[in-house]
Amino acid sequence: MEREMKNHKIKDIKVHLVSQPITGGFADATRKVECIGFTIVRITTEDGIEGFGVTYHEVGGEATKVMIEKNIAPKLIGRSPFETEKLWQEMFGYLRGVGRKGLMFCAYSAIDIALWDLKGRILDMPLYKMFGGTETRIPVYGSGGWTSYTDDELVEEMVGLVKDDGYTTIKFKVGVDGGMSPNRDLVRVQKVREAVGPEIGIMLDANNCWDAATGARFANRVKDLDILFLEEPVFADDMPGLRKYKYSTDLPLATGEHEYTKWGARDLLLHTGADYIQCDGTRAGGFTEMLKIGALTQAFNVKFAPHAMENIHIHLISAFHNAPFLERLKLFEGITENIYLDAPKPVDGYMTIPENMPGLGLELNMDFINEYDEKFE
């Protein structure tokens, strides 16, 4: 208890950028992926305890790093990591004038996750227990299948996720030719369903490529293939379009990965009829905000299915009975293995939270991070 009762103060905050270029033409319906990576934030207390958090570093990671170092970090030095709610409100008030979505929130999301990791390490308690969770074996689905793939490449990757990696649920992209060929998409879904069999769960991601009418028409044609949901059939901010889609088909609607904060989640729940809310804790405000977003999904009796970042979100999934699974992005597997030491991996469609490891239950591979940390002027 002595460790718990100390008046811990934040002494130092460091930010690292690690990324890798993507070659080979990986593209969804609306963009080509050129780079993937992580912005990594490490927060250390005066007594030497360290926690970390992450957000994305694909486009604009340099701006995120500068914002943390120049604007956020100075206001946190000397503060207690246990002030997560108070600090969140202070930073929202301080930063809201420069962006209530986007890079500003990515920056503070990484900070907030690091603060929660730090609290867990100080208390010697894993985050899932701090959130009230009990489950340690969590379902996870494999996510990939780019629209830039040929039909054969798509089928091969999806079959590999099932037969080689052991997933029982998979997700892939629709919206080939920039969303202009939904008939081709239908054929591709049929081919995947035939290849993986009737027992495998399939979900589809349109990456904002259609209008509501096109999305609903496609949904009504593909739903007989036993599809679990269609994700982002229209532009993420087009809430009237999402609502029109929802009222035109009974294929469940998933959305939210591009939404930020509890207010964004509230608007999705009130105005779109979404069945799955997919806010991403490394964008939407960290754990402090995701706990509130999860509670909102429970109040509306819909599914809470955070986007990607499976090693971060696993603790939330444990704590929410309406959270069915994690998402693991195949494209991120390599860099994820590089930045963490011995991070959990899926086995037969499940990931297991490490036993007897506090906070996030993860350790950074600082040799790799220091070697590839990006410097810029």
Give the containing element (helix H, strand E) for 255: strand 253-255
Residues 165 and 144 in one domain: yes
Residue 211 sits in which domain range? Answer: 129-352
Distance CA 304, CA 269 (A): 11
Q: Is residue 271 flagged as an active site residue?
A: no
**pLDDT 10s digit of each residue in the chain, 377 long?**
444 546 799 999 999 999 999 988 899 999 999 999 999 999 999 999 999 999 999 989 999 999 999 999 999 999 999 999 999 999 999 988 888 889 999 999 999 999 999 999 999 999 999 999 999 999 999 999 999 999 999 999 999 999 999 999 999 999 999 999 999 999 999 999 999 999 999 999 999 999 999 999 999 999 999 999 999 999 999 999 999 999 999 999 999 999 999 999 999 999 999 999 999 999 999 999 999 999 999 999 999 999 999 999 999 999 999 999 999 999 999 999 999 999 999 999 999 999 889 999 999 999 999 999 998 76
Structure tokens at 5: 């009762």
Active-site entry in 307, 313, 315, 321? 307
Q: Is the domain of 52 the same as that of 194?
A: no
User: Cβ–Cβ contacts within 10 Å for residue 226, how many?
Assistant: 12
Same domain, 202 and 321: yes
Instruction: Let me know whether 104 and 182 are in one domain.
Output: no
**8 A C-beta contact, residue 233 and residue 254:** no
Name which of 338, 336, 356, 357 is nearest 346 in CA terms.
336
pLDDT of residue 6: 65
Asked whether 306 and 314 are in contact (CB, 8 A), the reply is no
Question: What number of CA atoms fall less than 13 Å from residue 290's CA on the CB side?
Answer: 34
Q: Is 357 a member of any domain?
A: no
Does residue 92 form part of some domain?
Answer: yes
> 154: number of CA atoms within 13 Å, CB side?
25
Q: Both 165 and 98 in a single domain?
A: no
Question: DSSP letter at 321?
Answer: T
Q: Residue 60 has which token pair?
A: 């604009």
First to last CA, the chain: 45
From 165, 54, 133, select the one nearest 304 (Cα to Cα): 133
Phi and psi at residue 21, in whole multiples of 5°? -70, 150
Which 3 state secondary structure label does DSSP give 256?
coil
What is the value of pTM for the model shown? 0.97
Residue 358 belongs to a domain: no
Looking at the fold, whether 17 and 160 belong to one and the same domain comes out as no
Domain check: are 166 and 297 in the same one?
A: yes
Q: Which residue has the tokens 């429970």?
A: 298
User: Could you tell me if 144 and 6 lie in one domain?
Assistant: no
Judge whether 291 lies within some domain. Answer: yes
Determine the Cα–Cα distance for residues 357 and 354; give it in Å rounded to an integer.
6
